[in-house]
Structure 1
Amino acid sequence: MFISDDQAPQRRWLAEIITSQLDALNFDYELSPAWQPAGVLDAVQRHPGPNIYFLDIVLQKEINGIELASKIRDYDPDGFVVFVSVRDDLLPNTLDAMTAPTGFISKADLFDEAKFVPHVQQVLLVIKKRLQTLHQSPAPTLTLHSGALLLRLKLDEIVYCEKMHGLRTTRIVTVDQTYVVHKNLSAIKSQLTAGHFFNEFQSYALNFDQIVAIDFNKGLVKMTNGDQLTFSRGTIKKLRAYYQTQ
């Protein structure tokens, strides 16, 4: 959970009020010390969430709260953005910027706990309900029939898929096991659209969330299970191009 407000007394008071309500509603959360835009964005890239963000609109920093929310959406599209600001007139701007805010709390009642807390409670109840819905949604899976074998694998547990050269066969490497199936890799890739996969390589599909390190000069990609995949310079440039657009 992030609270971004450039006024230290207001930020501390908000943190006390919001965390007490999170505790009362039995949220599982951790309050990040990051509050400046650059720090928030750095933390979000490492922990994409969905997170909860309480953002002041008028930040005396390199970007304002609306611009910060817009950038957050690049990394945490399902996160919950709540604007806390004295600038009620800027509410339409938050919608125009497509920040998809969960709520807007006016600072008119700041430091008045009796008036402010109900606004926080209302927003947190909405967030809790939506989180419960997200958790109830089934995890996206890859389902394959290969001869007498039926596979149903969670996409987030797939490390990578590799085409077996010369054969109509694909090797699927998961976090704890490896499967060889008689399926074209292209057919498998058609089911890898809901996860975070890079499907532009002819012979591989890589789970971005399972990549540990990339050496673009040597064409090496290290995965979480310890496997180190080697690609030609012509091939690895496709992956470099992807990261340059992000």
Structure 2
Amino acid sequence: MKVFISDDQEQQRLWLNDIITKQLDALHFNYELVSAWQPADVLAAVKNGGGPNLYFLDIVLQREINGIQLASKIRDYDPDGFVVYVTIRDDMMPETLSAMTTPTGFISKANMFDETKFVPQVQQVLEVVKKRLVTLERSAEPTLTLRSGALLLTLKLKDIVYCEKVHGLRTTRIVTTSQSYVVHKNLNTIKQQLTAMRFFNEFQSYALNLEHVITVDFNKGVISMDNRDHLTFSRGTIKKLKAYYQTQE
């Protein structure tokens, strides 16, 4: 989990960094503190990474956008992230709700630099975050997450029928139970995320979800999938799948 602390007052930001990381360590969080705090830099970092992440945002950022607007943009890339507002402007709490940023908590700056009053607020929020993380981890289904250009794609592994290398290009076609996607990613890179469930990754140009295989004709080299696609392989290639099935008997 990545942790962002966005505050345009350097003295306050550095103090928050120290206080928050101490409490994260005390509660045994597995986290990475990201140095980015400017809205544009935070968004760039979120776009390139997964989630859920943890965000401590000052509502009154004196930048191109304020903390509430930043949280709204974060939600486009990290819908399950934890947004905590750290602010002196308690009167703006209703605005954070109307903007549908789904905050996890609010920490008042009225007690800034007073550890005895401020730390318990941080502890309370982090305990809530930890409980919710446990729930998310228990309920989360394995997924494939890719960014290809402007496309951010997250697919449940169980819904992927197969992935196919597009010959001559560093491009892969991902076929799911409902539709197909063409992404500018090398198939071998995608296979690194296809380790859960029953994926067969030994074919050079394909990754197959064996849960979606209906029949295999080893003599003709034809694999029939449950979406009615028929994939054809050479006898030498299909032997790899035959050998795999023999190890499962």
TM-score range, shorter chain: 0.5 to 0.7
How is 1:6-155 mapped onto 2 (pairs within 5 angstroms)?
A: 6-140=8-142, 155=157
How far apart are residue 157 of structure 1 and its match?
A: 10
Is 1:189 matched up with 2:177?
A: yes
Q: Is the 8 A contact 1:159 1:223 kept in 2?
A: no
Q: Is the 8 A contact 1:55 1:83 kept in 2?
A: yes
Task: Pick from 156, 164, 185 the counterpart of residue 222 of structure 1.
Answer: 185
Q: Is the 8 A contact 1:159 1:173 kept in 2?
A: no
Q: Is the 8 A contact 2:87 2:107 kept in 1?
A: yes
Name structure 2 gaps, 5 residues minimum.
Answer: 145-154, 165-171, 191-204, 206-249
Aligned to 1:233: none
Aligned to 2:221: none
Paired with 1:85 and 1:5, the residues of 2 have a C-alpha distance of 9
Q: How big is each residue's C-alpha offset from its partner over 1:1-27, in whole Å with a ceiling of 9 and x where there is no partner?
A: 000000000000000000000000000
How is 1:205-220 mapped onto 2 (pairs within 5 angstroms)?
A: 205-206=181-182, 211=183
Paired with 2:134 and 2:45, the residues of 1 have a C-alpha distance of 24
Paired with 1:127 and 1:4, the residues of 2 have a C-alpha distance of 18
Moved over 2 A (4+): 156-162, 221-224
Query: What amino acid sits opposite 1:118 in the alignment?
Result: P
| Structure 2 length-normalised TM | 0.63
Paired with 2:143 and 2:37, the residues of 1 have a C-alpha distance of 36
Q: Report percent identity of matched pairs.
A: 66
Name structure 1 gaps, 5 residues minimum.
Answer: 143-152, 163-171, 175-184, 191-198, 212-220, 230-246
How far apart are residue 155 of structure 1 and its match?
A: 1.2
Q: Is the 8 A contact 2:86 2:107 kept in 1?
A: yes
Between Structure 1 and Structure 2, how many residues are aligned?
A: 173
Query: Against the structure 1 CA distance between its residues 57 and 224, is the aligned structure 2 distance closer, same or farther, given a 3 Å change threshold?
Result: farther
- Aligned-residue CA RMSD in angstroms? 3.0
Paired with 2:78 and 2:158, the residues of 1 have a C-alpha distance of 16
Paired with 1:71 and 1:155, the residues of 2 have a C-alpha distance of 27
SS of residue matched to 2:76: helix
Q: Which protein shows a greater Rg?
A: 2
Query: Against the structure 1 CA distance between its residues 226 and 81, is the aligned structure 2 distance closer, same or farther, given a 3 Å change threshold?
Result: closer
Query: What amino acid sits opposite 1:223 in the alignment?
Result: N
